[in-house]
Amino acid sequence: MNAGFTMDDIDREIVAHLRRNGRATNQQIADILGLTAATVSSRIRRMEEADALRVVAVSDFSAHGYNVLLEVAIEVEGRAASEVAEELAALPEVFAAHLVTGRYDIDVLVALHDFDGLSDLMLNKLAKIRGIRSLVPAIAIDVVKYEFDVAPIEARS
């Protein structure tokens, strides 16, 4: 978020409505909040320009045929972890790549259509990336929570 930008209660309400319904029009949000559509529009634009808000669409993995989710913890040796992470992030199966602290250097989240793709990913793609010392895959057996609230703007109760 840009320095000098502060979200107020109205901004937070607009974001809350967009979280519930990302397709809501400025007029619909304005009607609920007792504002004009122009006010809602200008506030959304101001938040976007301050990098405090980005409106995106989120799709469901299973709706697109991805039935296997896994996390792979990766230890790097002989190469900068950031370089390895960039190479991993370029793989189409990888939907998130993180440089992390602790026992491992990188954590990636992967989506596959089925288990048939697992050996190709592990043996032909990940194992061939220079600098990877070890891979520890963990298959998700159930998704307990998946929220796209990546940047909560208020305290959670």
Q: Is the dihedral of CA 44, 46, 52, 57 positive or negative?
A: positive
Q: What is the pLDDT of residue 149?
A: 59
Q: Give the C-alpha separation, 52 to 72, whole Å.
A: 30
Q: Which residues pair with 75 in a beta bridge?
A: 134
pTM: 0.67
pLDDT above 90 for 19: no
Residue range 33-58, pLDDT digits in tens: 999 999 999 999 999 999 888 877 76
67, 140 contact by CB (below 8 A): no
Structural domains of the chain ordered from first start: 9-49 (1.10.10.10), 62-139 (3.30.70.920)
pLDDT band at 1 (very low <50, low <70, confident <90, very high): low
pLDDT band at 153 (very low <50, low <70, confident <90, very high): low
pLDDT (mean) for 105-124: 94
Residue found under tokens 């960039």: 86
Check residues 139 and 65 and name the one with the higher pLDDT.
139
95, 111 contact by CB (below 8 A): yes
